Amino acid sequence: MSSPGKRESPSSSLQLCRVMLPDDANIMGNVHGGIILKMIEEAGSIVGTRHCNTQNGDRCLAALVRVEKTEFLSPVFIGEVVHVSAVITYTSQHSLEVQVKVIAENILTGEKKLANKAALWYVPCSLQNVDKITEVPPIKYASPEQEEEGRKRYESQKIERLETKARLEEAMPPPPNPERYTVGFSQSSLIHLVGPSDCTLDDFVYGGVTMKLMDEVAGIVAARHCNTNIVTASVDAINFHRKIKKGCVVTVTGRLTFVSNRSMEIEVLVDADPLVEKEKGKYRAVSAFFTFISLDKENKPLNVPPLKIEGEEEQKRFEEGKARYLQNKAKRLAEKERQQ
């Protein structure tokens, strides 16, 4: 792509682009957030893998271990060209950070808009031995300050990754005839049999494929709650605790945890079940919180129906969700003030 505002890319950066097709969007023409997340991760995985193979040693593949919280800044529509540019912005001994920008271009009007910005962390896994983490070649920084800032991001995500464990609780099946606007009413699960095209060369699922499935189920939950055109507004940081192998059945369950006037928070749990390997049972691979908003026909935000809470568990999750919501709101306000 004609990466806007950049010169020839070294091996540590990459641009990719694709026209958005009808199947990438909902019936209102809004491209699914999951399609964007998948493209972001494809770019990250290529640039990460390419970089980690620039020195001698084992051939390796960069595996996604974490995506920082990311926001969808503008809606993307069918027919637009989505440009994803990825650049490696920090390397530690065994991991690297990729920052990604997503620009949507209307090739009929020439209009461009920033659709998303994301930061992803990868770890190189040896192709010979998938459990071996190889060394990451260092990148060059424009300044010592840049390196120092990267180190800070590295340290803080490391702490968060260590502290955060996958939420292990089961998503209980909803009651037989759930009442409208309850958590059980909109709770949804999808299952997906992992096929060859979902996987990297070493037969593990791309992180982006998992995120696309997560966004899909979260979108169905949101639409069931609102019965309107819903779009992904943001995704909280996701830690990829365990890999998923080709041939697994992946169960992705989404349920509403919190609803504000204008947004819905949906918890998404991903379980992997290696069907033909009896010894290994089903395990929790990832979990994350997605935030969706509801839009009218002019893409203006709509009010969201309140959530009917039933039982202590739901109340506890609602309070936690509210805390995250208020924290994010405060952060956004603080940032706004800083920018003024």
Under rule CB under 8 A, which residues in 159-218 are in contact with a second copy?
170, 172-174, 176-178, 180, 184-193, 195-197, 200-201, 216-217
Side-chain-facing half-sphere of 25: CA atoms under 13 Å: 17
Q: Under rule CB under 8 A, which residues in 26-65 are in contact with a second copy?
A: 26-27, 42, 45-46, 49-50, 53-54, 56, 59-61
Q: Per CB under 8 A, does 220 bind a second copy?
A: yes
265 binds a second copy (CB under 8 A): no
Among 26, 106, 299, 328, which one carries the catalytic annotation? 26
How far is it, in rounded angstroms, from Cα 265 to Cα 133?
A: 35
Residue 189 or 328 having the CB closest to a second copy: 189
Give the whole-angstrom CA distance, residue 95 versus residue 176: 46
Contact between 108 and 79 (Cβ < 8 Å): yes
Minimum CB distance to a second copy smaller for 137 or for 321: 137
CA terminus-to-terminus distance, the chain: 33
Catalytic residue among 24, 198, 215, 271: 215
How far CA 79 is from CA of 26, 105, 106, 111, 298, in Å, comes to 13, 9, 7, 13, 18
Given a contact cutoff of 8 angstroms between Cβ atoms, the answer to whether 189 and 171 are in contact is yes
Determine the distance from the C-alpha atom of residue 252 to the mean position of all C-alpha atoms in its chain, rounded to a whole number.
14
Active site residue 177: no
Among this protein's residues, is 215 annotated catalytic? Answer: yes
Question: Binding to a second copy (CB under 8 A): which residues in 71-100?
Answer: 78-79, 81, 83, 85, 87
SS3 112: strand
Among the candidate windows 130-138, 145-153, 157-165, 225-233, which touches a second copy by CB under 8 A?
225-233
Q: Does 4 bind a second copy (CB under 8 A)?
A: yes
Applying CB under 8 A, among 10, 94, 114, 146 the residue interacting with a second copy is 114
| CB-nearer residue toward a second copy: 32 or 239 | 32
Nearer to a second copy, 16 or 130 (CB): 16
The half-sphere exposure of 315 on its side-chain side, counting CA atoms within 13 A, is 3
Contact between 228 and a second copy (CB under 8 A)? yes
- Residues in contact with a second copy, counted by CB under 8 A, come to a total of 88
Tokens of 18: 């694709």
In this structure, how many other beta carbons lie within 10 angstroms of the beta carbon of residue 199? 17
Tokens of 227: 């019965």
By annotation, the residues acting in catalysis are 26, 215
